[in-house]
Structure 1
Amino acid sequence: MLDRYAADPAVRAATFVVLDFEGATPAGYPAEPTEVGAVLLRLRQEPAGHWDLAEAGRFESLIRPPDHAPVTAFDTRQTGITAAMVAGQADAATVLARFDATLTRPPYVTVAHHARTEAGILRRYATACPALAAAPMLDTLRLARHAHPGLANYQLDTLLAQLGVPTPPDRHRALPDAVVTAAVLQALLADGARRLRWATLAQLQALAGLAPPHLAAEQATLF
């Protein structure tokens, strides 16, 4: 239950976009997405009166990577995504622009596990997805370090076991990973409210926030 957060107007106004990319990892280049999955969450009051994050939408799509980033056998072993599956798909800019066009109710906060990976992709495709790229980010890995210090590691599978979130059979596909990351977010926020008195979006951003990707891109051009 997330009742403590309901008093914060910023939390009540926000839509949390829990995002996951699967990707190809070409040598000498940054990762290129081969699939995106997202779950949109908003704080809602349940009939019993308690507040929780409720699903407000989903998005998923395969993505054709550029020629310099082909899907390799290693990538397929990791995700189950093959070169044939992505061959006829739209490229990343087209897919992300399509997703971005559905985001018509700001403000947004993007959420990802080890969010620098997602931030890097959004930064490079910022012109295609301006709403996503303009949103501040929360990293569930960083939140977990504060809520559950002392774990051996903070990989997503470790947190699923720690928090009692079932591992989906298609783990390492984008939408299932976004779904379980959303469950991890909800569990961490509940733990933080109960034990650490987390109550505001500003607190969460101070603990686990990243700057909006488009700001990082603009800053990089100054140096």
Structure 2
Amino acid sequence: MGGLTQDPAFLATTFVVIDFEATTPKGYPAQPIEVAALALRYEKGAWRAAGRSASLIRPPAFAPVTPAVTAQNGLTPEQLSQAPGPAEALGALDRRFTANKPYLLVAQHAATEANIIHNQREHCPTLARIDLLDTIPLAKHLVPGLPNYKLDTLLAHFAITQPTDRHRAYADVDVTAQVFFRLVSAADEDTQLSDLAALVKIAGRTAKCNMPDQGGLFDIQPPGGSRHMQTGLR
């Protein structure tokens, strides 16, 4: 293998693949109705699961689950009526993280997850300060020429079996993790991606809570930047 998976910063980082399902009421930002997270460490040449979390989330009254949402992911108003609210569900996830340990969130189209997390930051303040890696720009760099970089396209390209419960958060986390494994393997052979800082330069996205108010939501972290190393997951 190449330099990336031998880089001390890469080896010290816990990568947390995260995915939300949400409903988007008119006039409001997306409201989460399910979250799943899978914590991963790279140790002794292989990936190890370091923790897993999944929860349904009861949406507020102004954000009902619509038939279109149910058609997309199968979640119904009845299922969510007894689910924990955002404060309980996201608070429980937030407590899985340990301050001052190195983490990066990993997401397919990280803008979606980043915006939901930022809008719910009062319930998950530690999570809201963890920077992200976006699998889309990383895939564009490593696998040029695909017709698009949607998750289904990447699953087909890497011959990853599509789950029967695609569009549920826990299933999408699992297959996104498999895509991430393939991308890291390819990055390990890329001389431009010799360490974690280089990976962050291409695919890093700074959490809004870590940026000055006038900054853009997804400014790329400069090489050698350290904000992605500020927090970590058990």
TM-score normalised by the chain length of structure 1 = 0.90
Moved more, 191-200 or 201-210: 191-200
- Which residue of 1 is the match for residue 225 of structure 2? none
Q: Which sections of structure 1, spanning at least 5 residues, go unmatched?
A: 46-50
* Counterpart secondary structure, 1:54: strand
Q: Does 1:18 align with 2:13?
A: no
Residue identity in the other structure for 1:59: S
Correspondent of 1:125 among 112, 116, 120: 120
Give the paired residue count: 214
Counterpart CA distance in 2 for 1:196 and 1:118 is 30
Residue pair 1:145, 1:154 contacting (<8 A) in 2 also: yes
Deviating 4+ runs (over 6 angstroms): none
| Deviation per residue, 1:165-191 (Å, 9 max, x gap) | 111111100011001101101101111
Q: Structure 1's 5 and 70: CA in aligned 2 closer, same or farther, altered over 3 A?
A: same
CA distance in 1, matches of 2:109, 2:73: 17
Question: 1:65 is matched by which residue type in structure 2?
Answer: P
Q: After TM superposition, give the deviation of residue 3 of structure 1 in Å.
A: 5.4
2:65 is aligned to 71
**What is the correspondence of 1:34-113 to structure 2 with a 5 Å cutoff?**
34-45=33-44, 51-104=45-98, 106-113=101-108
Paired residue secondary structure (1:145): helix
What is the deviation of 1:199? 2.6
**Aligned partners of 2:189 and 2:119: how far apart in 1?**
38
Question: Would the aligned equivalents of 2:17 and 2:37 in 1 still touch at CA under 8 Å?
Answer: yes
Deviation of 1:136 after TM superposition, in Å, equals: 1.1
For 2:221, the equivalent position in structure 1 comes to none
| Structure 1 CA distance for aligned equivalents of residues 111 and 207 of structure 2 | 11
CA RMSD of the aligned region, Å?
Answer: 1.7
In the aligned structure 2, how far is the partner of 1:210 from the partner of 1:82? 32
More helix by share: 1
Q: 2:152 aligns with which of 148, 157, 164?
A: 157
Note the residue ranges of structure 2 that are not aligned, 5 or more in a row: 216-234
Answer whether contact 1:135 1:213 (CA < 8 A) is retained.
Answer: no
Aligned to 2:27, the other structure's residue is in SS state: coil
- Counterpart of 1:30 in structure 2 is 29
Whether 1:115 aligns to 2:110 is: yes
Pair 1:173-2:172 in alignment = no
